[in-house]
């Protein structure tokens, strides 16, 4: 069928990265096809009969009303059958999407404004991106630190709300190597559109190598901080003169920062560490208390890296 062809899918959808995504595309194509045919029959018939049986003169009167039992049965029964096919087909696909695999790679996800953190059972964690092996069931166990977010991978045709105070789950089985974009599909604040991440589907060998390697190997503390900034901080803070939701980092090291309430604080290591783990302890004047705590999410190396990176922004 045309609606299950790769050409159709690539025209209207991102390339499918899982088998279930291909099933969703086929179902979607079926719905588009029967909707188009129904539209042509209903609207086309309406226009055709409007012209064919219009009044030819002011004195012309319409004929008596009549009906055709078989025709009336068919135009009710055929849509009923199509609706039931769509319902059962959709239920099967949805049931597959929501039936979690018993065995598979399990990854914990923590969402917060405005980034994603991914934690593996080995203890390895990453932010802004994560890696999974091809042809492997992957189960995501998700929660939020602040508001409702929604984990959405268009190429997998699957999304799930991420709710504070509880766990929600989502799974996928990637069958194509590649990099796939992750979005937050639930409006979560000013920088909602910047809450992006990527899932990298790689070979088993490359996955094991990534899992074993130190992502900061060979990097200076300043370079570590820059990497953390790019993956976790740049949505709210900047390193230029442009104003964002949070205070800019350019040139703040060593200065006296004005706080809400009229007091000031010197920007040093202790202040920056406190701002990371307890951001609402001291609110910079002119900015809202929008930042959530990163306590327990950044290693000592990452925290020191952020401080060194801020020092370098003179």
> Residues 221-268: pLDDT tens digits?
888 888 888 888 888 888 887 778 888 888 888 888 888 888 888 888
pLDDT value for 35 = 92
Give the mean pLDDT of 99-120: 87
β-strand 115-120 against 105-112: which pairing, if any?
A: antiparallel
How far apart are alpha carbons 311 and 212 in whole angstroms? 31
Please give the order of strands across the beta sheet that includes 149-153.
129-133, 197-202, 178-184, 149-153, 158-162
Band of the pLDDT at 81, cuts 50, 70, 90?
very high
Closest-CA residue to 182 (of 168, 196, 170): 196
Band of the pLDDT at 44, cuts 50, 70, 90?
very high
Number of H helices, E strands in the chain: 7, 12
Domain 105-212, CATH class in plain words: mainly beta
Give the mean pLDDT of 73-86: 91
DSSP three-state, residue 133: strand
pLDDT value for 292 = 81
User: Does residue 230 have a cis peptide bond before it, meaning omega lies within 30 degrees of 0?
Assistant: no
What does CATH list as the number for 221-312?
1.10.760.10
Phi, psi of 60 (to 5 degrees): -75, 135
Give the mean pLDDT of 139-152: 91
What does the angle CA 94 – CA 199 – CA 207 come to, to the nearest 5 degrees?
A: 115
- Top pLDDT among 274 and 217 is at 274
How far apart are alpha carbons 4 and 131 in whole angstroms? 29
pLDDT value for 62 = 66
Dihedral sign for Cα atoms in the order 162, 163, 164, 165? negative
Task: Please give the mean pLDDT across all residues of the chain.
Answer: 86
pLDDT value for 181 = 93
pLDDT value for 64 = 66
Band of the pLDDT at 148, cuts 50, 70, 90?
very high
How far apart are alpha carbons 304 and 276 in whole angstroms? 11
Residue 308 has pLDDT above 70, yes or no: yes
pLDDT value for 11 = 60
Residue 65 has pLDDT above 80, yes or no: no
Band of the pLDDT at 2, cuts 50, 70, 90?
very low
- Top pLDDT among 170 and 261 is at 170
Give the mean pLDDT of 99-116: 87
pLDDT value for 242 = 77
pLDDT value for 201 = 94
């Amino acid at each position: 069928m045309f609606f299950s062809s790769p050409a159709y899918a690539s025209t209207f959808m991102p390339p499918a990265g899982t088998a279930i995504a291909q099933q969703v595309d086929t179902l979607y194509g079926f719905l588009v096809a029967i909707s188009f045919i129904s539209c042509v029959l209903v609207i086309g018939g309406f226009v055709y009969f409007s012209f064919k049986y219009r009044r030819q003169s002011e004195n012309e009167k319409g004929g008596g009303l009549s009906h055709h039992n078989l025709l009336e049965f068919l135009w009710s029964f055929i849509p009923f059958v199509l609706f039931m096919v769509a319902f059962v087909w959709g239920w099967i696909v949805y049931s597959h999407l929501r039936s979690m695999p018993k065995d598979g790679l399990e990854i914990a996800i923590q969402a917060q404004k405005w980034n994603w953190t991914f934690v593996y059972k080995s203890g390895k964690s990453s932010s802004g991106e994560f890696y999974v092996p091809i042809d492997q069931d992957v189960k995501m166990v998700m929660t939020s630190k602040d508001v409702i977010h929604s984990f959405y991978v268009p190429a997998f045709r699957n999304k799930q709300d991420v709710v504070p105070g509880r766990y929600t789950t989502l799974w996928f089985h990637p069958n194509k190597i590649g990099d796939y974009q992750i979005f937050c599909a639930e409006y979560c604040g000013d920088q909602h559109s910047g809450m992006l991440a990527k899932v990298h589907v790689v070979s088993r060998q490359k996955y094991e190598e990534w899992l074993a390697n130190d992502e900061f190997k060979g990097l200076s503390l300043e370079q570590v901080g820059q990497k953390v900034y790019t993956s976790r901080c740049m949505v709210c803070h900047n390193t230029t003169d442009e104003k964002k939701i949070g205070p800019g980092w350019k040139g703040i090291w060593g200065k006296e920062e004005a706080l809400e309430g009229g007091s000031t604080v010197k920007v040093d290591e202790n202040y920056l560490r406190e701002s990371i783990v307890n951001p609402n302890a001291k609110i910079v004047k002119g900015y809202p208390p929008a930042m959530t705590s990163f306590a327990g999410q950044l290693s000592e190396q990452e925290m020191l890296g952020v401080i060194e990176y801020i020092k370098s922004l003179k």
